[in-house]
């Protein structure tokens, strides 16, 4: 059963070590203070917790299964591999854990209009979904490039009654959609709730989104106890773009003993050496974007560099401030896998387990395929399958058939 | 008194609110920028130069476009500082450098502010830095001899006004609307109330920006009790349309007479 846990981060000023904070136009400061107060008050209210749990169970379909992947385990010849099946949550990804929490908060604050940014469209679909269910007006900002790549999700959002606004500035992807969502919020701050989709942005978003997503790690502990007689596996592997599914899986382990290996897998795109990737921790420098101090892809003048990944959901030039902190402190480790490796992971999981993962999650599978063979046979590894791959099938078909 | 405050004082003695044009450095191209800026500076009390940034989340579409165009021509921090220095040679109007925080961090704050001062800047405007978020930044700018201008908005509480004013030197930049930069036909009627609330908490001059488009909006700013008026998007729009931005600034200056 989900609980609001107390973690040692962030501090009162929203800092994870040096990362995080609140670097936004002054117009938004009172709104962020109001949001923080409302969130802190809500998480102390048993009625809010009961309501959130009920929607997680009856609407999102939680708990999601922790599935023992026997054939994949045998194939990789090492540890016992479990898959955390976030792909089976309503709307097909972990995003719903966060959007349900924030939509409940929006309703509690009396805000009738919600806005969001989206990259691959998974967060946008999730926001459109909860907005429909709660009767809220939803406006979703999406880069023109992503609108083209993810046409199916655009239609899904419109079907759910949301207005999708294509964003044509900058690189026309997630980062620019986020700029535009922030501009909307600055303009309509008094009556609008911004449902941010990842553990990025100004305080309190990285903390609040982590808290809602930490249902993933809490369930892993309870389910592993039942299946393996131990709450803590040897390793937890999750993909990292902004980093919300990874933080959700990591948080209930990161600040407790014993601690498993926590492995975040960034997108190395066409290879770190090519400069065409989205690996902010592996190859970025610290800076400020979208209200937060974090690892960033940028040029030497501090202009934000375009990110690249075959997976639109990882195509973001920054990474949540808590990931920077976990990396610096050695609490979690971060690796990066290429587009090509991710495509192999995508097919590997499809053929061994009959599960088509999102291209994002396929990065975690691809890294597991490298790590697991080095582990003892009795080791227990959990891979977070953050979403399902239906949305990616057409793109993968295009790439694989193009190669033949 | 620093040159920024002096400029407000001089305008006041001449029976005017200070006129503060804004242009994005290197827009429409480096030489075109210098030509426009030099002409605009003759009608200005202070001049604001924006360092183009890839992700200007406080700006509306007009300044976004100007920023993208400047970046596409290779304008970066070094180029912006050079343009600032060349403008300083041609004009005695105090120059303010407006920049998002990340280029400052990438350059190194101490080096950035020293180089800006050497290029001739009298002050800096940091639109995405609430000053108390990183108090060391304002301190470094002030140590380099720059005025530090921070923004206040209609949503700012009295407590925020007091906090932000505490880090501000030169003048307070009051944002007229909840929103991003861009010319508007009229400004919200509560503008006077915002200016009054700010003036109760600081003796610094108050300049109003965002939304000023010409004579009428400038008059509204003057009547609301501001000491200065900033105009940016309307100038860039004039340049885009092939019109003379000095004509727009002259109107703003006229509207802002006492």
Contact state of A288 with B102 under an 8 Å Cβ cutoff: yes
Strand (E) positions, A270-332? 285-289, 292-296
Q: Is A285 on the interface with B (CB under 8 A)?
A: yes
**ipTM value for the complex:** 0.96
Q: Could you tell me if B248 and B231 are in contact, meaning their C-beta atoms sit under 8 angstroms apart? A: yes
Q: Does residue A135 sit in helix, strand or coil?
A: coil
The count of domains in chain B is 1
| B24 has a chain A CB within 8 A of its CB | no
The per-residue pLDDT for range B183-236, each reduced to its tens digit, is: 899 999 999 999 999 999 999 999 999 999 999 999 999 999 999 999 999 999
- The pLDDT score that the predictor gives to residue B56 is 97
Q: Which two tokens stand for residue A172?
A: 């026309």
- Sheet of A261-269, strand order: A66-68, A80-85, A380-385, A235-239, A261-269, A333-338
Please provide the distance, in angstroms rounded to a whole number, between the alpha carbons at the two ends of chain A.
48
pLDDT at B207: 98
Indicate which residue of A36, A73, A111, A117 is catalytic.
A117
Phi, psi angles (nearest 5°) of residue B206 = -120, 120
Query: What distance in Å separates the CA atoms of residue B148 and residue B125, rounded to the nearest whole number?
Result: 6
User: Cβ contact (<8 Å) for A301 and B57?
Assistant: no
What is the DSSP secondary-structure string of chain B? --HHHHHHHHHHHTTBPEEEEEEETTSS-HHHHHHHHHHHHTT-SSEEEEPP-S--TT--HHHHHHHHHHHHTT--HHHHHHHHHHHHHH--S-EEEE--HHHHHHH-HHHHHHHHHHHTEEEEE-TT--GGGSHHHHHHHHHTT-EEE-EE-TT--HHHHHHHHHH--S-EEEESSSS-S---SS--TTHHHHHHHHHTT--S-EEEESS--SHHHHHHHHHTT-SEEEE-HHHHHHHHTT--HHHHHHHHHHHTB-
Domain that holds residue B155: 3-255
How far is A4 from A44, CA to CA, in rounded Å?
A: 9
Whole-angstrom Cα distance, residue B227 to residue B101? Answer: 26
Are B180 and B216 contacting, i.e. CB atoms less than 8 angstroms apart? Answer: no
**A95 a catalytic residue:** yes
Is some CB atom of chain A closer than 8 A to the CB atom of B164?
yes
Gyration radius from chain A CA atoms: 19
Q: What pLDDT shows up at residue A151? A: 87
Percent helix / strand / coil, chain A, rounded to 5: 50, 20, 30
Work out the minimum CA distance from B255 to partner chain A, whole angstroms. 26
Shortest Cα–Cα distance, A166 to chain B (Å): 14
pLDDT at residue A142, rounded to an integer? 97
Buried b / exposed e along A351-372 (16+ C-beta atoms within 10 A): ebbebbbbbbbbbbbbbbbebb
Q: Which residues of B touch A287 (CB under 8 A)?
A: 102, 105-106
Q: Which residues pair with A287 in a beta bridge?
A: A294
Interface test with B, best of A14, A34, A176, A301 (most B CBs within 10 A): A301
Count other Cβ atoms within 10 Å, centred on residue A400.
12
Contact (Cβ atoms closer than 8 angstroms) between residue A80 and residue A378: yes
- A165 to chain B, any CB pair closer than 8 A? The answer is no
CATH number of the domain bearing residue B72: 3.20.20.70
Beta pairing class for A192-194 and B151-152: unpaired
Looking at beta carbons, which residues of chain A come within 8 Å of B156? 26-27, 29-30
Mean pLDDT of chain B: 97
Structure token digits, residue A83: 């898959």
- Chain B residue with CA closest to A304: the answer is B54
B137-155: burial string, b at 16+ Cβ within 10 Å, e else: bbebbbebebbbbbbbbbb
| Look-up of token digits 């997108």 | A267
Helix A205-213 / helix A321-328 crossing angle, nearest 10 deg: 80
> CB–CB of B71 and A303 under 8 A?
yes
Cα separation of B121 and A322, whole Å?
37
Is the link from the previous residue into A363 a cis peptide, with omega within 30 of 0?
no
**Residue B116 pLDDT greater than 90, yes or no:** yes
Q: Which pair of tokens denotes residue A65?
A: 């299964």
Q: Is the pLDDT of residue B20 over 90?
A: yes
Please compute the mean of the pLDDT values over residues B236-242 and round it to a whole number: 98
Name the residue of chain A whose CA is nearest to B105's CA: A287
Instruction: Using the CB atoms, write b or e for A260-274: b if 16+ within 10 Å.
Output: bbbbbbbbbbeeeee
Number of CB atoms found within 10 A of residue B42's CB: 11
| Inter-chain Cβ pairs, chain A and chain B, closer than 8 A | 115
User: What percent of chain B clears pLDDT 90, i.e. is strictly above it?
Assistant: 98
- Give yes or no for B223 touching A (CB within 8 A): no
What pLDDT does B1 receive?
66
Task: Give the pLDDT means over successive 10-residue stretches in chain A (404 positions).
Answer: 97 98 96 97 98 98 98 95 98 98 98 95 97 98 91 95 96 94 95 98 98 98 98 98 98 98 98 97 98 98 96 94 98 98 98 98 98 96 97 92 78
């Amino acid at each position: 059963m989900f609980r609001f846990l107390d973690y040692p981060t962030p501090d009162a000023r929203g800092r994870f070590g040096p990362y995080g904070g609140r670097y936004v136009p002054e117009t938004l400061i009172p709104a962020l203070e109001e949001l923080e107060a409302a969130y802190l008050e809500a998480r102390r209210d048993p009625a809010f917790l009961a309501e959130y749990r009920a929607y997680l169970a009856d609407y999102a379909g939680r708990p999601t299964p922790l599935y023992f992947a026997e054939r994949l385990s045998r194939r990789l010849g090492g540890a016992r591999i479990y898959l955390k099946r976030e792909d089976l949550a309503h709307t097909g990804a972990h995003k719903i854990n966060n959007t349900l929490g924030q939509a409940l908060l929006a309703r509690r604050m009396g805000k009738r209009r919600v806005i969001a940014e989206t990259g691959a469209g998974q967060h946008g679909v999730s926001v459109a979904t909860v907005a429909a269910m709660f009767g809220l007006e939803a406006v979703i900002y999406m880069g023109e490039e992503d609108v083209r790549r993810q046409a199916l999700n655009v239609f899904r959002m419109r079907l759910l009654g949301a207005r999708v606004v294509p964003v044509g500035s900058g690189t026309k992807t997630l980062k620019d959609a986020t700029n535009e969502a922030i501009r909307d919020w600055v303009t309509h701050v008094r009556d609008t709730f911004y449902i941010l989709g990842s553990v990025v942005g100004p305080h309190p978003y990285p903390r609040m989104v982590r808290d809602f997503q930490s249902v993933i790690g809490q369930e892993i502990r309870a389910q592993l106890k039942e299946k393996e007689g131990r709450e803590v596996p040897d390793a937890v592997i999750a993909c990292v773009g902004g980093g919300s599914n990874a933080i959700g899986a990591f948080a209930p382990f990161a600040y407790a003993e014993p601690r498993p290996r926590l492995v975040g897998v960034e997108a190395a795109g066409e290879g770190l050496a090519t400069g065409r990737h989205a690996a902010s921790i592996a190859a970025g420098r610290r800076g400020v974007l979208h209200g937060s101090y974090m690892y960033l892809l940028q040029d030497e003048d501090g202009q934000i560099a375009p990110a690249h990944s075959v997976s639109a959901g990882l195509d973001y030039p920054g990474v949540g401030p808590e990931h920077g902190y976990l990396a610096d402190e050695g609490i979690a480790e971060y690796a990066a896998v290429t587009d090509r490796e991710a495509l192999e992971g995508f097919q590997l999981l499809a053929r061994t387990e009959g599960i088509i993962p999102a291209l994002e999650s396929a990065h975690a599978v691809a890294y597991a395929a490298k790590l697991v063979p080095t582990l003892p046979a009795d080791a227990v590894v959990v891979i977070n399958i953050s979403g399902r791959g239906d949305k990616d099938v057409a793109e993968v078909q295009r790439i694989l058939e193009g190669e033949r | 008194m620093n040159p920024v405050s002096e400029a407000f004082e001089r305008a006041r003695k001449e029976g005017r609110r200070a006129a503060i044009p804004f242009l994005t450095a290197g827009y429409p191209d480096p030489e075109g920028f210098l030509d426009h800026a030099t002409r605009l500076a003759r009608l200005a009390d202070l001049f604001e130069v924006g360092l183009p940034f890839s992700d200007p989340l406080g700006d509306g579409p007009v300044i976004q476009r100007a920023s993208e165009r400047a970046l596409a021509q290779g304008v970066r921090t070094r180029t912006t500082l050079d343009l600032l220095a060349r403008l300083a040679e041609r004009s005695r109007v105090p120059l303010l450098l407006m920049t998002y925080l990340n280029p400052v961090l990438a350059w190194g704050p101490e080096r950035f502010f020293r180089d800006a001062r050497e290029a001739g800047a009298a002050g800096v405007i940091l639109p995405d830095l609430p000053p108390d978020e990183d108090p060391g930044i304002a301190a470094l700018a002030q140590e380099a001899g720059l005025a530090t201008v921070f923004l206040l908005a209609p949503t700012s509480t009295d407590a925020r006004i007091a906090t932000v004013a505490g880090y501000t030197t030169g003048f307070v930049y009051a944002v007229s609307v909840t929103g991003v930069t861009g010319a508007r036909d009229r400004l919200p009627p509560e503008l006077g109330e915002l200016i009054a609330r700010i003036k109760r908490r600081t003796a610094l001059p108050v300049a109003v920006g965002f939304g000023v488009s010409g004579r009428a909006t400038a008059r509204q700013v003057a009547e609301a009790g501001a000491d200065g008026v900033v105009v940016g998007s309307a100038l860039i729009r004039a340049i885009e349309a092939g019109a003379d931005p000095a004509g727009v600034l002259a109107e703003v200056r006229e509207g802002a007479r006492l």
